[in-house]
Amino acid sequence: MNATGAPRLISVVIPVHQGAPELRRCLDAIAESDVPREQMEIVVVDDASTDASAVIAGQYADTVIRLSGRPRGPAYVRNRGVELARGDVVVTVDADVCVHRDAIRRMVERLDADPAVGAVVGTYDTMDVGRSIVSDHRNLYQAYRRLRAEGDVDAYWPACGAVRREVLTEVGPFDEWHYWRPQAEGAEFGRRIRRAGHRIVLDPRIQGTHLKSWTLIGTLRTDFANHALPWARLLFHAGDLARVRTPSFGWREKTNAMLTVLTVFVLALRVRWPSTGMTAFVASCIVAMLVGYGSFLRFALRHRGVFRAALFVPLQVARYLVAVMAIIVGWLLHHLVGEPRRDVRDDALAEVGLQTWPPVPTRLPSDSWHLPPGGRLADSISHITAARS
């Protein structure tokens, strides 16, 4: 219920790019939600797809926004949807996620239960959707991390999350200037929500099935370039890499990453300088690493069986190595380059102030790249306002 006692209007914003088959299943899942349809407004934003995404969206959605030109990424696309959304609560769902029947209701109930909660995020479920082993590992691992991370987090998760309209208005939309691919826009948005004094709660009962199919190269590239690297750059900028609370940066993750790097390092030494002592050391490192992985491997064993769980070990090793490499590169880029640079065409158009459709990406006056480390959002906004006047 909203302030006037009327049922809340919930806007579900779904960005899509070349995702027609998954979009249909995503929209089917939303249509089967236990929230009455008249309380939901479905807004699908098509990011310059050349497949039938917009047409499929039209079969279900109240509003379809068809963006032309080149794809501009989910942050930009979600913002276009949010601009037209009318709901008191804005739910963001990725086009390749099938939310469970009760997910949207649970999001709204969680927001209703505590006014201090500005946003709610959920998790992937553990369902095996029959994709490759790489996809299964990735989805199961994400589910594992998030299912264990109930409570307050610092990052918003746009794949399956909800935010109050007033919080969105207060902190501003997703940062479409710095994130033009599916990158760290949720982390950046979450930082602003937290800095404005609102809570972000991860509720593991809010679940969706991830339909995305991954290849090994694709998942490693995405982990490096779109997840770990932008996160690392943002967190180095903010200076709180050690303090951030998200499922990706828990103590277990950090320990496992260090154990993995150590194991690979001593294994390389053992290959170069074989000795009995070195072999024993390598063996003990591998044991320590597997003990570190133990919690996830037990989880995988329970949901997928011995064979799959065993196959997940090398994939875990690759993930941690990529993550550590990305943090090192992120540290270098932070010191050598600074903030991520926008595409030069957008930079030029923004400078000229040309009004176009689709609009030129805009830089928020309050994005995390403007905030001084440890600074408050309100201080930053008042400082910028004073400078402009």
Partner 1 sequence: METAFPFGDRIAPPALATTRGPVRSLVIIWRSGTEALDWQLGSWAGALRAGMDVVVVHACSSAERVRLERDHAGVRVLVAPADREVRVLRELGVRAARGDIVEVRDDTQCDEIGWLLRRAAADPADDRSSGAGGSYRARDPRVQSASSS
Size of the site for partner 1 (CB under 8 A): 35
CB closer to partner 1 out of 60 and 331: 60
Q: What phi and psi values does residue 172 have, to the nearest 5 degrees?
A: 90, 165
Residue number, 48 or 318, with CB nearest to partner 1: 48
300 counts as binding partner 1 under rule CB under 8 A: no
Half-sphere exposure at residue 16, Cβ-oriented, CA atoms within 13 angstroms: 35
- Residue 51 engages partner 1 in binding (rule: CB under 8 A): yes
Scanning residues 86 to 105, which ones bind partner 1 (CB under 8 A)?
86
CB 300 within 8 A of CB 308: yes
* 348 near partner 1, rule: CB under 8 A: no
Nearest to 364 by CA among 79, 191, 81, 174: 174
**Vertex 44 angle, CA 171 and 151, to 5°:** 45
Place of tokens 């990706």: 248
Distance (Å, rounded) from C-alpha 199 to C-alpha 117? 5
Task: Tell which one of 1, 6, 113, 287 touches partner 1 (CB under 8 A).
Answer: 6
Residue 161 binding partner 1, by CB under 8 A = no
Residue 270: what residue type? R
How far is the C-alpha of 1 from the C-alpha of 7, rounded, in Å? Answer: 5
Q: Counting contacts by CB under 8 A, is residue 59 touching partner 1?
A: yes
Q: Does 362 bind partner 1 (CB under 8 A)?
A: no
Smallest gap from Cβ 355 to partner 1, in A, equals 7
Query: Is 384 a residue that touches partner 1 (CB under 8 A)?
Result: no
Only segment of 66-74, 269-277, 288-296, 367-375 that touches partner 1 (CB under 8 A): 66-74
Pairing mode, strands 10-16 and 40-47: parallel
Work out which of 217, 251, 352, 356 binds partner 1, going by CB under 8 A.
356
Which letter does DSSP use for residue 65 in this model? E
Question: What whole-number distance in Å separates Cα of residue 206 and Cα of residue 118?
Answer: 16
Report angle CA 225, 71, 351 to the nearest 5 degrees. 90
> Binding mask 137-156 vs partner 1 (x if CB under 8 A, - otherwise)?
--------------------
Distance CA 210, CA 22 (A): 9
Instruction: Tell me whether residue 30 or residue 244 sits nearer to partner 1 (CB atom).
Output: 30
Specify the residue, 221 or 345, whose C-beta has the smaller distance to partner 1: 345
Q: Binding segment for partner 1 among 63-71, 141-149, 221-229, 271-279 (CB under 8 A)?
A: 63-71
- Which one of residues 61, 95, 97, 364 is an interface residue with partner 1 (CB under 8 A)? 61
* Residues that bind partner 1 in the complex, under the rule CB under 8 A: 4, 6, 9, 38-39, 41, 48-52, 54-69, 84, 86, 354-358, 360
